[in-house]
Each structure stands twice: as C-alpha cells, then as structure tokens.
Amino acid sequence: MRALLCKSHGLPDTLVLEDVPSLTPGKGEVVVQVKAAAVNFHDTLIIQNLYQHKPELPFSPGADLAGIIKAVGEGVTGYKVGDRVIGLLRWGGFAEEALVPAGRLAALPSGVDFPDAVALGLAYTTSYYGLKNCAHLAPGETLLVLGAAGGIGSAAVQLGSVMGARVIACASSAESLEICRRLGAAETINYHTDDLRDCVRRFTNGRGLDVVCDPVGGKLADAAVRGMAWQGRYLVIGFASGEIPRVPLNITLLKGCSILGVSRGQFMDREPEKSKANADELFAWLAAGKITPVITARYRLDQARDALNDMMQRKLHGKAVILI
Ligand SMILES: NC(=O)c1ccc[n+]([C@@H]2O[C@H](COP(=O)([O-])OP(=O)(O)OC[C@H]3O[C@@H](n4cnc5c(N)ncnc54)[C@H](OP(=O)(O)O)[C@@H]3O)[C@@H](O)[C@H]2O)c1
C-alpha cells in the first residue's frame, strides 16, 4: 500500500510517498482502507516536530480518516470487516491503510460520504466540545469566532448558529467572511481593515461577548478578552498565528470571566463516553443535513504535500480533503 511518510522532521516538501507493507491489526485495533483524509493545521505542526505528541519516525500525518474496515484485531467488538467508519486519530491518515484503535472509531451513518465525514472530524468534534462541554453556550448568547473561515473556526460558526447563538465571525478577507455568512454568521469583522474592539462594542451594544472561540492566538486575543461580557467564557483552542498570547489576569477579575483550555485529544482519552456521544450527535446532524462542512479543496494522495503547503500559506478556507 502507498503511504505519505514523514521520515525526518521538516516542511511538507520533505514528505515522501512510498510503497510499504500492508498493515495487520494488533489487539483492540482495526485496519481501515482509507477513502478520504482531512487536512488540518495540526498536520503541519506534527511533521515539523512542533506538536505536543511526537510519533516515532517514520509516520504518516493525517488526523482524520474515513474508509472501510479491512481487518479486525483480537478483542474488538461492535465493528466488523466492511463497516464504514471514521477514525479520529493524531496521525496515520495520509495512507491507503491506517491502524485505528477501536476506541478512536465512529460508525458512519448511511448517507454520509467519506469526504464530508473527515471534514467534520477533528474540526467539528473540537469546536463542539469547546462550545458545549467547556463554554456551555446557550441560545441567545453572543459568540465571537476568530479565524472563522478556517477548519476549527468554520465549524464553530456553524455549530454556534445551530446551537442558537448570535455569531460574530472574524477573518482576514471578504471572501472568507462571505463563507462565514453562508455558515450562519450574523455579523462579520475583517481584522485587517476593522477595529475588533470597536466592532464588538457596536455589535453587542456595549454588553460584550458571552463566548469567544480562539484557534488563532496572537494579538487578536488581547482585544477579544477585553471585549468579554460579565461571566464570559474564552475558549483557548490553538495558536495558528504562531504566537501564544499573554492575558492580563486583572481583566478576568473585572469581568468575572473564565479562560478555558480546550483539548479534544484529552477529552477523548479522559472522557470517552461523552466524547463518543458528541461524535454520534454530530454525525446524526450531518446525516440529517442540519450541518454541512464547507469543503473548498480536494487533493489526491500524491498532492497531499501541496495541500499542507496551501494550508501553511493561508490559501485554504473551510476544509480541504485528500481523496484516496
Ligand atoms: N485544542 C484542540 O484540541 C485542537 C484541535 C484541532 C486544532 N487545534 C488548533 O487550532 C488551530 C487552528 O487549526 P485549523 O485546523 O482550524 O487551522 P486552519 O484551517 O488553518 O485555520 C486557522 C485560521 O487562523 C487564521 N490565522 C491567523 N493568523 C494566521 C497565521 N499566521 N497562520 C495561519 N493561520 C492564521 C487563518 O484565518 P485568516 O487567514 O482569515 O486570518 C486561518 O483560517 C491550530 O493551532 C490547531 O493546532 C486545536
């Protein structure tokens, strides 16, 4: 089978596509014949050895994969050869076959295709965990989303509006903000041309933000924290800007607000039942047409390096998928 391999850490062009032996499942694992994998910012970090989890070399990047079970290991219950599944991993998806622990699988409802399933994967399960389990977002509340046209951001815009919140989307271009409007954003802020704090004051009549979803970090975080409402909740999801912000803690005291770390990986490991319930709920919403990820780019496995380069150069909006 063919696999895109990271043999030494570096930028996407250092990845190599090779023929490797077919996989055999260990205890508690299945082998999935991969049909689609999503492109996530996470993949760009893991190949550079910049992610907190560090797989042994060589490995294939690709955190979300969907396909058909090809072989089932000892002790696996509830799944059989031929089942359509998604694997929610940290790496291993950019290959024709992937090993997935049974606890990291979810069954795909009929009617959900493989590209939509992976586009939902990491992005939607992370945003939903943040909005539902960490922030307890309630209908009628105001949600500000930074990096709103990216993978995590576009999921948060759509889920926030489905959950009944009034969503303010922030991104860096008119094209990105148009996508956010299609996903349900009521207001938009272009952070290259608009002043974030002024817009927040205007859009909330001075009341402030109930919840902020932040996968970007950097300078925008300061303005967003200062725009919080009394007892607001600030979700720390990631640092796509490359800069970890430092927030003056006196602001949390003055606003009675909370800063909440959101780690989907740890949620899956530490609270597997709740995590599975969230994934089942999201796939049911996908099957019912209540949510639809925006897929704006499709690549083949031999183009996966281009996909990761495009993501690093901020050329992608919504989700990009690799079709295998
Ligand atoms: N905590 C968790 O469990 C978890 C799970 C998944 C991902 N994450 C993290 O969340 C972050 C976003 O991931 P993603 O997959 O949504 O990425 P993405 O699709 O690339 O989206 C990131 C967005 O951030 C904005 N951005 C602002 N400054 C940027 C910069 N200097 N470089 C790149 N993007 C910049 C971009 O929007 P504009 O160009 O419009 O500004 C882009 O759309 C990453 O740090 C990732 O590691 C965390």
**Would you state the structure tokens that stand for residue 188, as one six-digit string?**
């938009």
Same domain (yes/no): 111, 183 = no
CA distance 223 to 275: 32
Determine the distance separating the centroid of ligand 1 and the alpha carbon of 311, expressed in angstroms: 9
DSSP label at residue 178: H
Same domain (yes/no): 177, 237 = yes
Does a structural domain hold residue 267?
Answer: no
Residue 183's pLDDT is 96
> Is the CB of 42 inside a 6 Å radius of any atom of ligand 1?
yes
CA distance 116 to 38: 9
> Is the CB of 312 inside a 6 Å radius of any atom of ligand 1?
no
Which protein residue's CA is at the shortest distance from atom 29 of ligand 1? 241
Same domain (yes/no): 145, 116 = no
Does a structural domain hold residue 134?
Answer: no
Determine the distance separating the centroid of ligand 1 and the alpha carbon of 263, expressed in angstroms: 14
> Is the CB of 176 inside a 6 Å radius of any atom of ligand 1?
yes
Residue 251's pLDDT is 94
Bridge pairing between strands 84-88 and 16-19: unpaired
Does a structural domain hold residue 114?
Answer: yes
CA distance 201 to 270: 38
Cα angle: 248, vertex 249, 252; to 5 degrees? 115
Same domain (yes/no): 225, 302 = no
Query: Are 1 and 71 spatial neighbours (Cβ–Cβ below 8 Å)?
Result: no
CATH number, domain containing residue 186: 3.40.50.720
Same domain (yes/no): 193, 242 = yes
Ligand 1: atom nearest CA of 216 is: 24
* Domain range enclosing 217: 139-262
Q: What b/e readout covers 57-73, taking b as 16+ CB neighbours within 10 angstroms?
A: eebbbbbbbbbebbbbb
Query: Are 83 and 291 spatial neighbours (Cβ–Cβ below 8 Å)?
Result: no
Same domain (yes/no): 233, 299 = no
> Is the CB of 209 inside a 6 Å radius of any atom of ligand 1?
no
> Is the CB of 264 inside a 6 Å radius of any atom of ligand 1?
yes
Query: Are 221 and 245 spatial neighbours (Cβ–Cβ below 8 Å)?
Result: yes
Same domain (yes/no): 316, 219 = no
Cα angle: 289, vertex 262, 291; to 5 degrees? 5
Burial of 132 (0-12, 13-18, 19+ CB in 10 A): middle
> Is the CB of 314 inside a 6 Å radius of any atom of ligand 1?
yes
**Would you state the structure tokens that stand for residue 78, as one six-digit string?**
């509830």
3-class DSSP assignment, residue 306: helix
Same domain (yes/no): 70, 160 = no
Does a structural domain hold residue 40?
Answer: yes
Determine the distance separating the centroid of ligand 1 and the alpha carbon of 88, expressed in angstroms: 18
> Is the CB of 151 inside a 6 Å radius of any atom of ligand 1?
yes
Helices (H), 249-317: 249-255, 264-270, 272-287, 304-312
Determine the distance separating the centroid of ligand 1 and the alpha carbon of 30, expressed in angstroms: 30
Q: Best substitution site from 237, 243, 260, 295 to test ligand 1's pocket, by max atoms within 8 Å of Cβ?
A: 237
Determine the distance separating the centroid of ligand 1 and the alpha carbon of 239, expressed in angstroms: 7
Ligand 1: atom nearest CA of 311 is: 20
Same domain (yes/no): 69, 14 = yes
Does a structural domain hold residue 277?
Answer: no
Does a structural domain hold residue 276?
Answer: no
Give yes or no for a cis peptide into 58 (omega within 30° of 0): yes
Ligand 1: atom nearest CA of 152 is: 16
CA distance 249 to 66: 42
Same domain (yes/no): 32, 104 = yes
Which protein residue's CA is at the shortest distance from atom 30 of ligand 1? 241
Determine the distance separating the centroid of ligand 1 and the alpha carbon of 259, expressed in angstroms: 19
Same domain (yes/no): 189, 238 = yes
Same domain (yes/no): 99, 211 = no
pLDDT, block means (10 residues), the chain with 324 residues: 98 98 97 98 96 94 97 96 95 97 91 95 97 98 97 97 98 95 97 95 97 96 96 97 94 96 95 93 94 96 98 93 97
What's the number of domains the chain is made of? 2
Phi, psi of 237 (to 5 degrees): -110, -35
Bridge pairing between strands 187-190 and 105-107: unpaired
Which protein residue's CA is at the shortest distance from atom 4 of ligand 1? 237
Does a structural domain hold residue 271?
Answer: no
CATH number, domain containing residue 301: 3.90.180.10
Does a structural domain hold residue 37?
Answer: yes
How far CA 48 is from CA of 13, 57, 61, 150, 307, in Å, comes to: 11, 12, 11, 20, 15
> Is the CB of 130 inside a 6 Å radius of any atom of ligand 1?
no
Q: How far is CA 286 from the centre of its chain?
A: 15
Which protein residue's CA is at the shortest distance from atom 47 of ligand 1? 42
